[in-house]
Amino acid sequence: MRHMAKPGDYDIYCDKILKGKMKVEKIYESDNVLAFYHTNPLFEFHAVIIPKEHIHDMRDLEDKHKELMWEIVKVAQDILETIDVERIGAQFRTGFGKSQSTPHLHFHVIGGKKIRE
């Protein structure tokens, strides 16, 4: 199943961040994956992990993405080690449709209280 971006959708990851046109504070980078601190965090702790390959959302993942997804999970594990998860709580999230802010697969690692709407 392919979930194509709608006209007017703006893909900040492919168009800006992965091209180096927008600076982010990187946490991890490999040939396939980039993790960085959210530029406008919604939570006390807020990191984002993306595949460099353009994939619309998790429904478009296939068997060939197994290694990619495992790398993303390992990056999330490492990020979670950097915060006090037991005390502040944390979530690993991805969105779909109206709940997806950017039409490129991404995972939020969020911790602590919500700091803005």
Q: What residue ranges bind Zn ion (CB under 5 A)? A: 11, 13-14, 54, 104
- Closest to Zn ion by CB, 65 vs 104, is 104
- For the bound state, the minimum distance from the C-beta of residue 26 to Zn ion, rounded and expressed in Å, comes to 17
- For the bound state, the minimum distance from the C-beta of residue 50 to Zn ion, rounded and expressed in Å, comes to 8
- Closest to Zn ion by CB, 3 vs 54, is 54
- Closest to Zn ion by CB, 19 vs 64, is 19
- For the bound state, the minimum distance from the C-beta of residue 54 to Zn ion, rounded and expressed in Å, comes to 4
Count Cβ neighbours within 10 Å for each residue of 64-99 and write b for 16 or more, e otherwise.
ebeebeebbeebbeebbeebeeeeeebeeeeeeeee
**End-to-end CA separation in angstroms for the chain:** 32
